[in-house]
């Protein structure tokens, strides 16, 4: 498999080169030259696959030529060694819980997969690699955990000061060893822009080997397809599901669409956003995409004003608005509705949502109610059902959740051990020069 740059001014590269570079030299995102089709009997027999076999089958065409099958098998085995349960919440709605990994968010899959790929590709390289990553909440902790102690790799995490939850901040600032946190006086978009500028800076790249662990890196982005397949293994309903994805940087929903184009049955995608509504506005305006500054919300990991991966979604649909609109609907849900949704779902269904899951749930519920009410749906037709991605454990936002539900959340061991720790971060301005000087002096 070869990867091309979406700016189309860089040569094609292998999966290994795309992973090591992170972003193409022309500042474009790498994209697979074709979307592999899964054999028809794969979906028919999906229940007979173990998680490891399924992960290997899906990922193998994407890494072909870059590592032996046995290495990929081992990487997948170590990546998906925790559960991905699909839990019923209402008659028509299920929750795909992606928070059972070590840092309690969906990012663990991509971070673990990428850290192992990079470790393998870098095995004979004497030169240290610096992984730069921007986070609005969950990526930072997952990357810190996934890369902790990986030889020859140094991780620098940029996060917006005061805009991540206290648990998220502890996850990314207390690891020590090869992990450093830079607390940026700005927004996630500032962090992301600084990181992207670093990859394009010739002077910096002569001195330091840089790569990205955000979803702009194909090794972080592509394995996110796997949990859509894990969900389908557990899907017992008559019709293919509607899938609602809480969306910020849009890597996750883009991976789901990729899985669908490969052959995974999906009725429709719902991109569930908070007040950061660049994509809902794109749909409402008939295809005008205008990035704007992010605003802070309760679902902070989705506080993104210029989603990196939207360009990949457009590429998947040949940049044709009617095709994008047929496949995806989009919602913008504010904080008041998010809080009301957490309250209502807890009191009616005894299911505890986190703020991101609440955004996903609300959008899905609204979409399904409208779809099931349409006259064409017919009274006798089975109701359309779906699932939303519960992308983070509610315990990552204990204050907000306890205030809404009036219930104390019990802390899992993975959070308890963080609570007594002291955060270690270096505060820097939202300026590329500050980042560059810091990198050059460390």
Ligand X SMILES: N[C@@H](CCOP(=O)(O)O)C(=O)O
Q: Which residues are catalytic?
A: 107
Q: Which is nearer to ligand X, 133 or 368 (CB)?
A: 133
CB of 393 to ligand X, least distance (A): 13
Q: Mark the segment that binds ligand X (CB under 6 A) among 132-140, 272-280, 394-402, 428-436.
A: 132-140
Segment 133 to 152, residues that bind ligand X, using CB under 6 A: 135-140
In this complex, which beta carbon is closest to ligand X, that of residue 55 or of residue 137?
137
Instruction: Please provide the size of the chain in residues.
Output: 442
Q: Return the structure tokens found at 124.
A: 């004979």
Between 278 and 368, CB nearer to ligand X: 278
- The whole-angstrom separation of Cα 228 and Cα 261 is 12
- Report the sign of the C-alpha dihedral through residues 220, 221, 222, 227, in that order: positive
- For residue 201, what are its two tokens? 């800076």
Give the Cα-Cα-Cα angle 104, 226, 4 (nearest 5 degrees): 110
- Min. distance of Cβ 420 from ligand X in angstroms? 24
Q: Which of residues 280-319 bind ligand X (CB under 6 A)?
A: 301, 308
Residue 215 per-residue DSSP state: T
Asked whether position 215 contacts ligand X by CB under 6 A, the answer is yes
From 248, 280, 355, 360, residue interacting with ligand X (rule: CB under 6 A)? 248
Using CB under 6 A, count the residues that bind ligand X: 13
Nearer to ligand X, 208 or 245 (CB): 245
CA atoms within 13 A on the CB side of 189: 15
Beta strands 426-429 and 2-5, pairing class: unpaired
Least distance from ligand X to the Cβ atom of residue 105, Å: 7
Nearer residue to ligand X within complex by CB, 86 or 216: 216
Torsions phi, psi for 254 (to 5 deg):
-65, -40
In order of 55, 177, 308, 312, the CA distances from 32 in angstroms are 18, 34, 16, 10
Residue whose token pair is 């990357």 = 143
115 binds ligand X (CB under 6 A): no
**Binding segment for ligand X among 131-139, 230-238, 283-291, 321-329 (CB under 6 A)?**
131-139
Instruction: Point out which span in 40-48, 178-186, 243-251, 430-438 binds ligand X (CB under 6 A).
Output: 243-251
**CA 376 remoteness from chain centre:** 35
Nearer to ligand X, 223 or 241 (CB): 223
Q: Min. distance of Cβ 259 from ligand X in angstroms?
A: 16
Binding to ligand X by residue 357, rule CB under 6 A?
Answer: no
Please say which residue, 173 or 384, places its beta carbon nearer to ligand X: 173
Would you count residue 214 as binding ligand X (CB under 6 A)?
yes
Residue from 66, 92, 244, 249 that binds ligand X (CB under 6 A)?
249
Does 130 bind ligand X (CB under 6 A)? Our answer is: no
* Distant-in-sequence contacts of 51-59, Cβ < 8 A, 24+ apart: 51/80, 51/84, 51/226, 51/230, 52/76, 52/77, 52/80, 54/226, 54/229, 54/230, 54/233, 55/79, 55/80, 55/223, 55/226, 58/225, 58/226, 58/229, 58/259, 58/262, 59/113, 59/222, 59/223, 59/226
Question: Which of these ranges, 76-84, 112-120, 129-137, 148-156, lies near ligand X under the rule CB under 6 A?
Answer: 129-137
Q: Give the C-alpha separation, 282 to 284, whole Å.
A: 6
Q: Which stretch binds ligand X (CB under 6 A): 45-53, 63-71, 113-121, 248-256?
A: 248-256
Interface residue list for ligand X (CB under 6 A): 135-140, 214-215, 248-249, 251, 301, 308
């Amino acid at each position: 498999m070869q990867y091309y740059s979406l700016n189309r001014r860089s040569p094609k590269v292998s999966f290994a080169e795309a992973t090591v570079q992170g972003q193409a030299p022309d500042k474009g995102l790498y994209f697979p030259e074709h979307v592999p089709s899964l054999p028809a009997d794969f979906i028919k027999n999906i229940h007979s696959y173990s998680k490891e076999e399924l992960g290997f089958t899906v990922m193998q065409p994407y890494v072909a030529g870059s590592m032996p099958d046995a290495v990929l098998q081992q990487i997948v085995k170590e990546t998906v060694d925790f559960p991905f349960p699909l839990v019923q919440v209402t008659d028509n709605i299920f929750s795909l819980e992606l928070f059972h990994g070590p840092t309690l968010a969906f990012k663990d899959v991509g971070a673990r997969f990428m850290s192992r790929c990079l470790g393998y590709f870098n095995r004979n390289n004497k030169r240290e690699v610096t992984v730069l990553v921007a986070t609005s909440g969950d990526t930072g902790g997952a990357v810190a955990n996934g890369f902790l102690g990986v030889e020859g790799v140094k991780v620098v995490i940029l996060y917006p000061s005061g805009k991540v939850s206290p648990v998220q901040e502890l996850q990314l600032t207390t690891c020590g060893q090869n992990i450093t946190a830079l607390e940026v006086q700005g927004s996630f978009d500032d962090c992301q822009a600084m990181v992207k500028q670093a990859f394009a800076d010739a002077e910096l790249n002569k001195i330091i080997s840089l790569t990205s662990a955000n979803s702009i890196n194909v090794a972080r982005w592509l394995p996110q397809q796997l949990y859509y397949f894990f969900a389908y293994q557990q899907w017992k309903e008559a019709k293919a599901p509607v899938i609602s994805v809480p969306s910020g940087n849009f890597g996750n929903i883009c991976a789901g669409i990729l899985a669908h184009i490969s052959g995974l049955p999906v009725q429709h995608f719902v991109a569930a956003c908070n007040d950061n509504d660049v994509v809902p506005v794109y749909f409402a305006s008939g295809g005008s995409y205008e990035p704007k500054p992010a605003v802070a919300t309760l679902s902070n990991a989705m506080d993104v004003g210029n989603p990196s991966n939207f360009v990949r979604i457009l590429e998947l649909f040949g940049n044709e608005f009617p095709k994008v609109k047929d496949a995806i609907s989009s919602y913008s849900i504010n904080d008041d509705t998010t809080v009301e949704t957490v309250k209502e779902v807890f009191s009616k269904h005894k299911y505890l949502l986190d703020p991101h899951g609440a955004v996903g749930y609300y959008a899905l519920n609204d979409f399904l109610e409208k779809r099931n009410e349409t006259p064409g749906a017919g009274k006798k037709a089975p109701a359309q059902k779906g699932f939303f991605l519960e992308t983070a454990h509610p315990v990552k936002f204990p204050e907000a959740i306890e205030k809404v539900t009036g219930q104390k959340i019990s802390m899992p061991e993975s959070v308890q051990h963080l609570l007594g720790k002291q955060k270690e971060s270096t505060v820097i301005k939202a300026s590329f020069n500050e980042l560059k000087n810091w990198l050059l002096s460390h």
